[in-house]
C-alpha cells in the first residue's frame, strides 16, 4: 500500500513536468487543461576578503532585500495549475486550482551542494494551494479558498511587496472594484517572541497550553479618480483569541518570566495607495504612493516583510495587551524611460514602528525575552537599465539605507552595483527574462554598522567599513 502511494505521488509530481512538452501553455483560465509557471534564480559568488563563496547580503540587518536584491541566493518556485471548463459551454466562468512549491536553502549554501538531508539544507515549502472561480457567469465576480500569495504592489529592485501583502490561508470574494478576504494566522513556533500564540486553557479543570488563532478581516476598494489615477483604500481588523471564558489563572506560569494567560487582543489597519500612470513620459510609466498605518497587534511587519500580522515590539505587561502600539509605512515608487535606451526605476521605503511598552529601548515580551520596542528605517534606491543592444543590457544600481533600533546608534550603508546582463530573448524590456548577469557590488558602512557587525556580510567577515560582492547569476520566470 505504501509503495503504491509513493508511485502515485511520484506520477503526480512528474506528469505535469512531462506534459510541458505535450501541452501548449494555456493562459490562466482559458480552457480546460494544464499550465505551468516557474520563477527561479541560481548562481555562484566569490568574495576576495576570504577567497571563498560566502553567500551573504551586503544589506543591513533586519531589512531583507530592502537595499538591493542582486546578491540574493538560489531560489526556485514551481507552479502547476489545473484549469476546469464549465459544463455549460456558454458559461464564461473561469476555474483553476493552483499549487506553488518553493525550494531554498536555510544555510544559504548553493543548490548543487545541498540536499534535504543536509544540515540546514534544502527546504521545500508550499505557500500556495487554492481554488478560484473568476468571471462567474460572465460577471466581474470571483471567489477563492485556500493558501495564497495574495498580494499585488512590489518594488521589484528591492523584492519588497508593500501595502497589501495579505498572503496566508483563508478565503476571499472580489466583486468589481471591491475585495474582501479573511486570513487565519496561527503559529506553533515557540521560538517566536511577539506575540506567542499560546494560552492556558483550563476549561476541563486542568491547565493545558492551547493554540490561539488570529483572524484578519481585509476590505479593499478601488476608486477610479481619473483616466490615469486610481486610489485604493485598505481596512483590516485583526482579532486574536483569548481566555475570557476560562477561570482566570495566576498571572504567570511556573516560569515567572512567561505569560500565557493574557486576554484577547485586536488591532486595526488603515491605508491609501495612489497609482498614477504617466503617459506624458511614456506608455507604461507610473508612480505609486502608498501610506499605511497599523495599530496594536496589527503593527507589523519587519525584516523586509510587510504582513501586518507580524506584530512588532513588546506588549504592555501591566495591561497584558498591545494597546498603544503602532506602525507607519510609506512607500513611493516611480518608473519611466529617460530615453529609448534607458529606463529608470526609483523608490523610497520608510517605516516607523513601536510596541506597547513605555520604553523605546529593550522590553520584555510575554515569553520573558527582550526585544526592541521601537525601530525606524529609511531606504532610497535607483536602478538604471541601459539597452546597449537587444541582447546586452547594463543594470546599474545605487541604494542607501539607514536603520535605528531602539535607542541604539543609527546604522547606515550605501551600495553601488553594476550588472552587465545577457538577455538571450533579445527584448528591450525591464521585465524580460531569462537574465544572465555578472554582478559586482561595493558597499560602505558607517562606524555603528561596522562596529556592531550590522549586516549578514559583516557578521561573516568581521568589522569592516567596506563590503564587496562578485558573482554570476541567472534569473527566470514564466
Residue-wise pLDDT for 125-145, tens only, equals 999 999 999 999 999 999 999
* Average pLDDT taken over every residue of the chain: 89
Which residue has cell 476546469?
Answer: 84
* Whole-number Å distance between alpha carbons of 238 and 307: 12
For residue 28, what pLDDT is reported? 44
Cell triple for 299? 503593527
pLDDT band of residue 244 (cuts 50, 70, 90) is: low
Instruction: Give the pLDDT score at 55.
Output: 77
> Residue 17: is its pLDDT beyond 60?
no
Q: Which long-range contacts (CB under 8 A, 24 or more apart) does 455-462 make?
A: 455/56, 455/57, 455/58, 455/59, 455/60, 455/61, 455/413, 456/56, 456/57, 456/59, 456/61, 457/54, 457/56, 457/57, 457/58, 459/56, 460/54, 460/56, 461/47, 461/49, 461/50, 461/54
Q: Which residue has the higher pLDDT, 28 or 300?
A: 300
What three-state secondary structure class fits 448? helix
C-alpha cell at 175: 466583486
CA 215 to chain centre: 19
The pLDDT, as a whole number, for residue 417 is 98
Mean pLDDT of 279-302: 92
Long-range contacts of 244-247 (CB under 8 A, 24+ apart): 245/203, 246/200, 246/201, 246/202, 246/203, 247/202
Reported as a pLDDT band with limits 50, 70 and 90, residue 25 is very low
| Torsions phi, psi for 3 (to 5 deg) | -65, -40
**CA–CA dist 61, 421 (Å, integer):** 28
Res 7: pLDDT: 38
pLDDT at 106: 83
Q: Give the DSSP H/E element, type plus range, for residue 8.
A: helix 2-19
Give the count of beta carbons closer than 10 Å to the beta carbon of residue 100. 21
pLDDT (average), residues 72-88: 95
- Spell out the CATH class of 2-477: mainly beta
Predicted confidence at residue 402, as pLDDT, reads 98
Has residue 245 got a pLDDT over 60? no
- For the cut 50, the answer to whether the pLDDT of residue 247 exceeds it is no
pLDDT band at 414 (very low <50, low <70, confident <90, very high): very high
User: Alpha helices of 328-367 — where are they, by DSSP H?
Assistant: none
CB burial string 299-308: b at 16+ within 10 A, e below: bbbbebebbb
What is the arithmetic mean of pLDDT over 87-96? Answer: 94
pLDDT band of 16, cuts 50, 70, 90: very low
Given this model, what pLDDT does residue 193 score? 78
Collapsed DSSP state (helix, strand, coil) of residue 210: strand
Distances (CA, A) of 330 to 320, 348, 364, 448: 29, 8, 28, 25
50-77 pLDDT per residue, tens: 777 777 899 999 999 999 999 999 999 9
The sign of the dihedral angle between the CA atoms of 277, 279, 280, 284 is: positive
Higher pLDDT, 180 or 304: 180
Rounded to an integer, the average pLDDT of 79-90 is 94
Rounded mean pLDDT, 104-133: 90
pLDDT at 94: 95
Domain extents in the chain: 2-477
Give the per-residue pLDDT at 197: 85
Q: Could you count the other beta carbons within 10 Å of the beta carbon of residue 24?
A: 8
Q: What is the pLDDT of residue 256?
A: 60
Contact between 424 and 475 under an 8 Å Cβ cutoff? The reply is no
Place 83 in a pLDDT band, splitting at 50, 70 and 90: very high
- Measured distance CA(279)–CA(389) in Å, rounded: 25
pLDDT tens column, 364-409: 999 889 999 999 999 999 999 999 999 999 999 999 999 999 999 9
Average pLDDT for residues 96-101, to the nearest whole number?
Answer: 97
Region 429-453: what's the mean pLDDT? 97
pTM as predicted: 0.90
210-233: average pLDDT: 95
Query: How sure is the predictor about 154, in pLDDT bands with cuts at 50, 70 and 90?
Result: very high
Phi and psi (nearest 5°) for 450? Answer: -65, -45
pLDDT score, position 2 = 41
If one compares 85 and 19, the residue with the highest pLDDT of the two is 85
pLDDT on residue 255: 57
Q: Please tell me the predicted confidence (pLDDT) of residue 31.
A: 53
Mean pLDDT of 399-425: 98
Section 348-372 average pLDDT: 95
Geometric angle at alpha carbon 151, from 150 and 156, rounded to 5°: 145
Amino acid at each position: 500500500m505504501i509503495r503504491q502511494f509513493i508511485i502515485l505521488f511520484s506520477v503526480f509530481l512528474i506528469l505535469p513536468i512531462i506534459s510541458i512538452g505535450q501541452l501548449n501553455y494555456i493562459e490562466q483560465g482559458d480552457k480546460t487543461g494544464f499550465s505551468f509557471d516557474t520563477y527561479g534564480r541560481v548562481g555562484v559568488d566569490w568574495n576576495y576578503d576570504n577567497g571563498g563563496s560566502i553567500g551573504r547580503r551586503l544589506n543591513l540587518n533586519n531589512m531583507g532585500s530592502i537595499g538591493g536584491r542582486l546578491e540574493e541566493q538560489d531560489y526556485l518556485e514551481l507552479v502547476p495549475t489545473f484549469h476546469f471548463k464549465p459544463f455549460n459551454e456558454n458559461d464564461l466562468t473561469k476555474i483553476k486550482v493552483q499549487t506553488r512549491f518553493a525550494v531554498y536553502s536555510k544555510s544559504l549554501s548553493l543548490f548543487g551542494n545541498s540536499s534535504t538531508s543536509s544540515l540546514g539544507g534544502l527546504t521545500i515549502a508550499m505557500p500556495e494551494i487554492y481554488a478560484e472561480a473568476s468571471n462567474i457567469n460572465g460577471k466581474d465576480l470571483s471567489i477563492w479558498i485556500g493558501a495564497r500569495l495574495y498580494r499585488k504592489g512590489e518594488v521589484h529592485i528591492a523584492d519588497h511587496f508593500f501595502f497589501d501583502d495579505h498572503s496566508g490561508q483563508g478565503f476571499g470574494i472580489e466583486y468589481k472594484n471591491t475585495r474582501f478576504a479573511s486570513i487565519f494566522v496561527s503559529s506553533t513556533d515557540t521560538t517566536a517572541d511577539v506575540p506567542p500564540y499560546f494560552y492556558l486553557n483550563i476549561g476541563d479543570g486542568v491547565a493545558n497550553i492551547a493554540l490561539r488563532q488570529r483572524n484578519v478581516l481585509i476590505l479593499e476598494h478601488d476608486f477610479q479618480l481619473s483616466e490615469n489615477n486610481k486610489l485604493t483604500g485598505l481596512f483590516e481588523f485583526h482579532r486574536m483569541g483569548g481566555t475570557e471564558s476560562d477561570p482566570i489563572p495566576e498571572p504567570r506560569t511556573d516560569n515567572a518570566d512567561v505569560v500565557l494567560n493574557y486576554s484577547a487582543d485586536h488591532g486595526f489597519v488603515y491605508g491609501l495607495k495612489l497609482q498614477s500612470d504617466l503617459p506624458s513620459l511614456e506608455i507604461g510609466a507610473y508612480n505609486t504612493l502608498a501610506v499605511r498605518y497599523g495599530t496594536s497587534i496589527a503593527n507589523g511587519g519587519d525584516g523586509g516583510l510587510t504582513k501586518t500580522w507580524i506584530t512588532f515590539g513588546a506588549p504592555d505587561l501591566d495591561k497584558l495587551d498591545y494597546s498603544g502600539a503602532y506602525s507607519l509605512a510609506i512607500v513611493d515608487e516611480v518608473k519611466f524611460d529617460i530615453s529609448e535606451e534607458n529606463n529608470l526605476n526609483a523608490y523610497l521605503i520608510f517605516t516607523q514602528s513601536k510596541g506597547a511598552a513605555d520604553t523605546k529601548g529593550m522590553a520584555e515580551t510575554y515569553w520573558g525575552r527582550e526585544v526592541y520596542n521601537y525601530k525606524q528605517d529609511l531606504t532610497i534606491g535607483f536602478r538604471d537599465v541601459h539597452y546597449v543592444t537587444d541582447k546586452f543590457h547594463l543594470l546599474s544600481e545605487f541604494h542607501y539605507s539607514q536603520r535605528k533600533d531602539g535607542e541604539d546608534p543609527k546604522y547606515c550603508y550605501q551600495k553601488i552595483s553594476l550588472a552587465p546582463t545577457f538577455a538571450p530573448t533579445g527584448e528591450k524590456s525591464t521585465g524580460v527574462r531569462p537574465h544572465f548577469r555578472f554582478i559586482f557590488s561595493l558597499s560602505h558602512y558607517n562606524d555603528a554598522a561596522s562596529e556592531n557587525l550590522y549586516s549578514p556580510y559583516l557578521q561573516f567577515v568581521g568589522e569592516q567599513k567596506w563590503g564587496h560582492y562578485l558573482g554570476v547569476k541567472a534569473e527566470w520566470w514564466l
